[in-house]
Structures are given as structure tokens and as C-alpha cells.
């Protein structure tokens, strides 16, 4: 919702205010965090991995295909190779900027996170492995993102799944069975201070992400509204650029 509002502001009014930029960037972090949390909460060892991949495909692919094909019809036909790589969610392996639908870069990251989550699960969801992935992602992020440049300049680094993986796996490690109850709040707060998310929110990041963790906990207890948001926010995220383009035709 934050990202859709930010896009509409940027497309319709002009450069959004700093607080809107902060919320949009926070929305990305929260999206990956909640995704990792939800999967780790729902899957324990042993996992029926065939069912896992079937559920992921059923959830992600139909609306992603709708958004991709609709974007092609509105914006023009890409190369066949690009279209195929998008439809099977493999473009990040070839070209991080090769996504077709607006915002689809995040879905490409998710697809790779699912694969890494699957491998992690095959290893028994080791806590040490999870935190090693988080630490590696933080290190890669620090190496690839510079405080001297804007997000627009560093876009290819920002959308790199290895940079964004820290939020997904730290979200998974919020699940109590994967971290000692007294360890994860301190570890998460340290992560908030270290993760090289865009520098525009460096002063606000710890408070926002801690608030996001509180939101996750609240939504788990507040099931009915959480179910409604969970069912429709993905479609809104994917389709809001298409709706905008149809409105301005």
C-alpha cells in the first residue's frame, strides 16, 4: 500500500516528500520481512516440498502473469527471451533489470528467496545458517551501496536479491522456534542499525523496522483484517501501475 501510494504521488504530482519516500522504502523492507516470517511460521521440518512449491506457484504466478502480459499489451512487445524469463521468474539470474511489469523486481527477489528457503529447509532450518545468510547479505549490501549516491543511481544494487536477502531471512528468524526468545529482539535491532538500506531513511530505519515487527505480531493476533490484507495487497501491488496507465490513456 505504501509503495502504490508513493508511485501514484510520483507519477501524478511530482517528487514525493521525504516521508513518503521513507514509507515506500520501508514498505519494501517490511514486505520481505513479513514474507520470511510467514513462511518460517508456516513450515517446519519435515516439509512437504512438493506442496510448498505448488502453493508458492499458485499464489505468485497467476497474478504475476496477468500483470506481465497486461504491461506487454500497454507498453509494447519485448524480446521473446525476455518475456519467457519473466514468465518463469528467472530473469534476475540473467539481468537484474530485465523485469517487465513495474515493481516485478521484488517478485524476482521473492522467487530466489523461496529457492534459498527451500535449501535452508533441506538443511533443517539451522539458526546458524540463517544468521550466516543475513550477515552475508549485510556485507554484500555494504559493499554495493554507497552513502554518496542516491537510490536511483544505485538501483541495480538495490534490486539485487543478495542485498535484500537480509530482510527476508531476518524475518524468518523472528519466529521464536528459530531464535531464542531473548536473542532475536536484540539481534534484530542490531540488524536494523547495520543493514545498508537506502541512506535517506538511515535515521528513521530502526524505529520503522521495529514498528514493523510490532505490526507483524499484531496482525498475527488480529486475524480477520490480516487475512483480508493478505489476500488483496499482492494484487494491488502488481496491478496499480496498470490501472494508472489505463487511467491516463
What is the pLDDT at residue 186?
A: 64
pTM of the model: 0.85
Rg of the chain (C-alpha set): 18
What is the pLDDT at residue 208?
A: 61
Structure letter (DSSP) for residue 145? -
Encode the chain (249 residues) as per-residue pLDDT tens digits: 888 988 999 998 888 887 777 778 778 888 888 899 889 988 887 888 999 999 999 999 999 999 999 999 998 888 999 999 999 999 999 999 999 999 999 999 999 999 999 999 998 898 889 889 988 988 888 888 876 667 778 888 889 999 889 889 988 888 877 776 656 666 666 666 666 655 445 545 555 666 666 666 666 666 666 667 777 888 999 999 999 989 887
Contact 26, 201 (CB under 8 A): yes
What is the pLDDT at residue 144?
A: 85
Contact 173, 134 (CB under 8 A): yes
What is the pLDDT at residue 200?
A: 45
The domain segmentation of the chain, as residue ranges, is: 2-247
Dist. CA 52–CA 55, nearest whole Å: 5
Q: Which residues have a Cβ under 8 Å from the Cβ of 132 and sit 6 or more positions away?
A: none
Q: Is the dihedral of CA 115, 118, 123, 126 positive or negative?
A: positive
What is the pLDDT at residue 63?
A: 95
Burial 175-210 (b: 16+ CB within 10 A, else e): beebbeeeebeebbeebbebbbbbbebeebbbebbe
Amino acid at each position: 500500500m505504501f509503495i502504490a501510494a508513493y508511485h501514484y504521488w510520483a507519477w501524478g504530482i511530482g517528487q514525493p516528500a521525504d516521508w513518503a519516500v521513507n514509507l515506500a522504502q520501508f514498505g519494501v523492507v517490511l514486505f520481505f520481512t513479513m514474507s520470511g516470517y510467514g513462511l518460517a511460521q508456516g513450515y517446519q521440518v519435515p516439509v512437504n516440498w512438493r506442496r510448498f512449491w505448488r502453493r508458492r506457484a499458485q499464489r505468485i504466478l497467476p497474478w504475476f502473469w496477468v500483470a506481465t502480459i497486461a504491461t506487454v499489451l500497454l507498453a509494447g512487445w519485448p524480446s521473446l527471451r525476455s518475456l519467457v524469463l519473466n514468465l518463469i521468474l528467472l530473469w534476475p539470474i540473467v539481468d537484474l533489470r530485465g523485469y517487465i511489469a513495474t515493481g516485478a523486481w521484488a517478485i524476482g527477489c521473492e522467487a530466489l528467496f523461496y529457492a534459498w528457503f527451500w535449501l535452508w529447509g533441506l538443511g533443517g532450518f539451522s539458526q546458524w545458517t540463517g544468521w550466516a545468510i543475513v550477515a552475508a547479505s549485510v556485507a554484500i549490501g555494504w559493499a554495493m551501496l554507497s552513502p554518496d549516491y542516491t537510490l536511483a543511481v544505485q538501483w541495480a544494487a538495490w534490486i539485487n536479491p543478495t542485498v535484500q536477502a537480509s530482510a527476508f531471512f531476518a524475518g524468518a528468524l523472528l519466529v521464536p522456534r528459530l531464535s531464542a526468545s531473548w536473542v532475536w529482539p536484540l539481534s534484530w535491532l542490531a540488524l536494523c542499525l547495520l543493514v545498508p538500506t537506502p541512506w535517506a531513511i538511515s535515521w528513521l530505519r530502526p524505529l520503522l523496522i521495529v514498528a514493523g515487527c510490532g505490526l507483524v505480531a499484531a496482525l498475527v493476533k488480529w486475524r480477520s483484517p490480516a487475512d483480508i490484507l493478505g489476500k488483496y495487497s499482492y494484487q494491488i501491488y502488481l496491478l496499480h501501475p496498470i490501472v494508472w496507465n489505463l487511467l491516463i490513456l
